[in-house]
Amino acid sequence: MNELKLSIENINPAVLWGPNNDHFEIIKKQYPKLKIVARGNEVKVLGDEHELGIFEEKFHHLLEHVEKFENLNITDLERILGSKPSSSNGLPDPVADKFASGEVIVFGPNGVMVKARTANQHRMVDSINKSDILFAIGPAGTGKTYTAVALAVRALKNKEIKRIILTRPAVEAGENLGFLPGDLKEKIDPYLRPLYDALDDMIPAEKLKFYLENRTIEIAPLAFMRGRTLDNCFVILDEAQNATDMQLKMFLTRMGPSAKFIVTGDVTQIDLPKKQQSGLHTALRILTDIKGIEIVYLSGEDVVRHKLVRKILAAYGDIQ
């Protein structure tokens, strides 16, 4: 009799085995010729070599599903462990279908798929795969920030980087931090709320809380980046049109040798005082031809909010 040992160290066992170990019982019934024992983070399986080979492949797909979706129901369990053959890329057909178009960037809680939904969002995905700095420029509602955050979360889940840093200039139309109630964090958080909202869609609440507490994910105003070297991390500067020349230069020169930077902005919504020039205009002019820096321009065709948003932007002249 042969023995197979499998690790489930990176998987939540409560999700994998189900309430009252219901999933574990289904797995055992699916493979009656095998003896399956689960202890802690290890699964030990005893049986015929051929049966073990089949089980190992299916169980691998099962772990892959739980890791990506962070959820498992009986229908998915039975489908993954069923007799359907694997696709050419090694995934069961129903799972492979979700990747076939290359649209899925990351899976959020309960199996929600975060996708690149437009041509230019696809360009963002391709560009950051090839280059270390990406500028994503376009009007409101085109998914610049959302896609950028999804790419950062994907890199963290794939262990390509150790940290995510999200930052924005603390500048808004007609607002001033000094007039807001509360301490510094309470004053700043409203400016950073869009970044929290995106993360909420992509990471379960408890895990996100843990990441924020141990600084695996850091969200801070742009001014807090000064003097730092940001390495082995994925860094996003959002609303970059509200950064000055010196601020944007400061930000871009924080880059360590193993980092990815995405800069998002909308040059039609600059909230700086009239006498201050947006650093984004300068950066787009002088960095265009540098190898390793990509610029993707999004347009009204990329608006993924309510259908009226595109018409509103057109009425204001932000898109053609």
Q: What is the pLDDT of residue 188?
A: 67
Rg of the chain on CA atoms, in Å: 23
Cβ neighbour number for residue 315 with a 10 Å cutoff: 10
Q: How far apart are CA 195 and CA 142, in angstroms?
A: 15
Q: What is the pLDDT of residue 84?
A: 40
What residues contact 171, with CB distance under 8 A and at least 6 apart?
239, 242, 271, 272
Q: What is the pLDDT of residue 128?
A: 94
Q: What's domain 104-316's superfamily in CATH? A: P-loop containing nucleotide triphosphate hydrolases (3.40.50.300)
In CATH, 2-97 is 3.90.1150.10: no
Tokens representing residue 97 in the block? 């279908």
Model-level pTM?
Answer: 0.65
Tokens representing residue 35 in the block? 């003896």
Domain ranges of the chain: 2-97, 104-316
Strand partners, 3: 46
Q: What is the pLDDT of residue 274?
A: 82
Q: What is the pLDDT of residue 174?
A: 41
Helix (H) / strand (E) element for 46: namely strand 42-47
Number of C-alpha atoms within 13 angstroms, CB side, residue 270?
16
Backbone angles phi, psi at 221, to 5 degrees: -65, 155
Regions of the chain with pLDDT less than 70:
83-103, 111, 171-188, 307, 318-320
Domain 2-97 matches domain 104-316 at the CATH topology level: no
Instruction: Judge contact between 149 and 198, C-beta under 8 A.
Output: yes
Query: Which residue has 């000094």 as its token pair?
Result: 178
Closest CA to 83 of 130, 132, 30: 30
